[in-house]
Structure 1
């Protein structure tokens, strides 16, 4: 399969693809992390998800519509391997184990998104914010003693879209989480401590 892949190295802030572009390739993130965004009808950029190394993005290339419904921007130096739709379908036809890997990957995404939806049902904003940050950390963070580190900057606005609350409210809730020791910021890193019972 390696011969069929197109390797790309992108810098932080560089776009892998844009919303509305022709969805002709599926990408495997080999290193780094990518933010998926959607431009709303009123022109706002909404952060929908963050994907890390090992994740597939651009799965919409497998659909009939033929355009990416979201944009993908690198949060740090990122290496991807892309494969066009026709070649990918041929590989899956000839090597069923590749199809199984994709199915498992998509099943994990569904499980992670279900967990995130569960976190959004938490009525208390502070607890909801903490649960969403834990879910993001589980997906893209590094586990260490006492918690997880997310090693790239998340703006308060991006966090507010992930939590489903206004940016000002998220800023206040984040401040309370810092006061209680559940999160800590150091430069461009965010540390989420194990939940205090």
Structure 2
């Protein structure tokens, strides 16, 4: 499976930086590799580092007091984590766990503050990035709240296909190894209900499996209303 590796210069966040600014940023950047299952940071840890995902994917997991885990999101190449550091020192609200081998660039808050002092327009790009991220999170929550399990699961597959899909003539392979329990944790359901929904999706030729990857079939006649 081909994995995308992001160069910092490809990101809108860093567009417009002078060559010497960009060079200084790269020279001060620490790089980190994580294997599947390893933590980038834990829920409750103080935020002091900003992370840019160059390749691979991580899941953001929030653990309640009773031990129940909820997967808030899956993050891939080009996304920024630890952005709470932009505001103030505070604790992370979730844990970030590698779903596969991950390559990450690590920045200190001071590095970003230095860039802002040199180039005030950089602050506007940061604000724009965080605003868009918050808007997308609110939009996702609004669309899926209150829906039946099957519809929430199908909406999740569409979203993952948009983010990590590899287009084929009649289908889209979702380049993400994700378990049935992780799917359940992402939509706030049980594994049993997810398994039942997957069986119905497969019978209706909507979802299939290829090795450890899900495949979303391209059928313009198929609708979530099939399961009402």
- Give the TM-score normalised by structure 2: 0.77
Matched, 1:116 2:130: no
Give the counterpart of 1:164 among 182, 188, 201: 188
Matched, 1:82 2:106: yes
Secondary structure of 1:66's aligned partner:
coil
Tell me which residue corresponds to 1:105.
129
Q: Contact 1:137–1:192 (CA<8 Å) still a contact in 2?
A: yes
Alignment root-mean-square deviation, CA: 2.1
Tell me which residue corresponds to 1:151.
175
Secondary structure of 1:126's aligned partner:
helix
Give the counterpart of 2:153 among 123, 126, 129: 129
In 2, Cα distance between the equivalents of 1:113 and 1:45?
A: 18
Structure with the higher strand share, 1 or 2: 1
In 1, Cα distance between the equivalents of 2:172 and 2:131?
A: 24
Larger radius of gyration: 2
Structure 1 gaps of 5+ residues are none
- Per-residue Cα deviation, 1:97-137 (whole angstroms, up to 9, x for no partner): 43344334324423432442244146343232111111122
Give the counterpart of 1:32 among 29, 53, 56: 56
Closer, same or farther: CA 158–100 of 1 in aligned 2, 3 Å = same
In 1, Cα distance between the equivalents of 2:87 and 2:215?
A: 38
User: 1:195 Cα deviation (Å)?
Assistant: 5.1
In 2, Cα distance between the equivalents of 1:168 and 1:192?
A: 21
Structure 2 gaps of 5+ residues are 1-24, 222-228
Number of aligned positions between the proteins? 197
- Give the TM-score normalised by structure 1: 0.88
Q: Contact 1:51–1:140 (CA<8 Å) still a contact in 2?
A: no
